[in-house]
Structure 1
């Protein structure tokens, strides 16, 4: 007997309440796909859309629009999304109705970043690659896992005319293609600790012996976080965000979910030595921002704060602790290798995601926009 025809897939604007209800039904989703993130990014215009199969909701997305001056057409950006079933047999339909929806709204291009892994490198593989003088990048080392779903999604995007926004080091103006994650599913604190390298375990013991205390703060501690963050920016030569940005992030994310965001502080005596921002959506927890002072570095406050956040993520039911972006390098002479070594010590894994992809909806405007980005 033949199967009845399935209802067509449609897409429409949805309310914040509908969007949040969908996210609560998912095991996890990127915090960049929450309605709150649209309130954080005030320099973009945000909208929530939902996919429907008949009357049944089958996906949602936060879309950020950056409008071109004078022309009024926008780049429609879906960071680390959309939140759909990327393994759906109707994936092409889902993407086509999104394309048509945005084209009708005047977007000149669609940019998205499927939150699906394509490759994974375990800690032992990364250590071996760092020790190998010939291997200089992750994509030159044999991965431990090649994910069929990620491979299929990439092939589908190419077939639909999407363009991969590749970057030699794995970083773009948008979201990183390479991230470092510690799997938490089915693990205990003891198992997490035993999976770390000897240096991490020794430093954790050292922080406890030396009296470093880590606490969860609140909005009143953001000024302290920002002071350390500015010091870190000066030391590591990156452009810092203003305090108001973090205050807004904390306010809107806290309003959206009671345990969506936390600020952590590592203290010794009367000194705050490190501070971080932790975010969780469902079963996924992120180390989002970190800062530290150069004072008392021998006390390993950054190690203490990471260990506390990992344990808290585990206690909250997270299956992944995400240390966010890494560069595509395992070369000893790369300036980022110290950060890679620090993260590898957790016993986690490097994960390559599908990356960010553009679909031009107006080739003329997209070409002009691409040229502008190259020369600005």
Structure 2
């Protein structure tokens, strides 16, 4: 995990080592991709994790989309379900990152959507289904309705042990000018931005042509901070599949890459998905200028939110990852605490036994 600026990203890569090769079904036969994407992207509970293109990025997973419709024939609830087949066994595990996309106050609607998911469970012999929806921890109505339709609320699970980080740091952009945003930064952040500018750090946006530079920074960061990184092909595929939504923000000093971020703009929400920095020239403060450059770009695109993504253990100053929160806090945003994970086990005895075994092996189920 990259300092948990990438932490909120789907963390099933350990599980993926079980599978040498998998297939991804881009679209359910009954769901039109354009219609589905329009619904998810415009919905207040929508997330790029629920986009068809994100499902296509996940090699080794089967991606299926289910929907329910109102009397007018339009989609009123949706969910993308990723399915991982367990090698040598005729069973699978299902996961809906940041799903479903629906009105969680509508218990009947949620129940109808789950009927569609249960059809997938039977088809793929899933022993369990996990989801971590975009609902905040204080949304008791949503939490209770999820429990009513068969989910167990994994409330005791530590936020660092969940697939997606339970706490994100976001900056609201709507109604604020670039000048207002900048003036609200911590004075040390403003100073470091000016340092980077005086030193001649150059930040620009790129597509797949700079993946090699970004990947080399990822290697450095992974070795420095002790985490496993994705393959270069993964980052390239993510940018290709997300079309014009994903891009790289790269910072160069004296012609050398010193900082980079992979960002995704989905539904007016810009997300800082992956970030990396060089061990060299850290004194030029490239990371500060990089995020300021991204924020100005957000305003140009009309984004309403910049999501810095995860802030693990932000409440514990003694924790080694507290510095992640301290850095992001300097941009004067706010903490969003999500409810966390919900799980439905279809075969209680066998299913929980499998989950326990997989957890003992180090997989986040």
Normalised by the length of structure 2, the TM-score is 0.85
Q: Which SS does the other structure have where 2:159 is aligned?
A: coil
Q: Which SS does the other structure have where 2:259 is aligned?
A: strand
- Does 1:67 pair with 2:67? no
Is contact 1:29-1:284 (8 Å) kept? Answer: no
Q: Which SS does the other structure have where 1:117 is aligned?
A: coil
| TM-aligned CA deviation for residue 174 of structure 1 | 1.5
* Superposed CA offset, 1:158-210 (max 9, x none): 34442233566512351111111111122111121122111111111222222
Inter-partner Cα distance in structure 2 for 1:262 and 1:164:
35
Counterpart in the other structure of 2:95: 77
- Does 1:117 pair with 2:136? yes
2:335 maps to which of 330, 345, 350: 350
Inter-partner Cα distance in structure 2 for 1:359 and 1:295:
47
Matches within 5 A, 1:164-313: 164-166=153-155, 169-254=158-243, 258=244, 260-313=245-298
1:15 maps to which of 32, 38, 43: 32
Runs of 5+ in structure 1 lacking a partner? 1-10, 119-146
Matches within 5 A, 1:140-159: 147=138, 150-159=139-148
How large is the Cα RMSD of the aligned pairs?
2.1
Is contact 1:169-1:328 (8 Å) kept? Answer: no
| TM-aligned CA deviation for residue 323 of structure 1 | 1.0
Q: Which SS does the other structure have where 2:82 is aligned?
A: strand
Is contact 1:168-1:328 (8 Å) kept? Answer: no
Q: Which SS does the other structure have where 2:234 is aligned?
A: helix
| TM-aligned CA deviation for residue 99 of structure 1 | 4.6
Is contact 2:185-2:331 (8 Å) kept? Answer: yes
Normalised by the length of structure 1, the TM-score is 0.82
Q: Runs of 4+ in structure 1 displaced over 6 angstroms? A: none
Runs of 5+ in structure 2 lacking a partner? 1-27
Q: Which SS does the other structure have where 1:223 is aligned?
A: helix
- Does 1:34 pair with 2:45? no
| Count of residue correspondences | 332
Counterpart in the other structure of 2:115: 97
Counterpart in the other structure of 2:67: 50
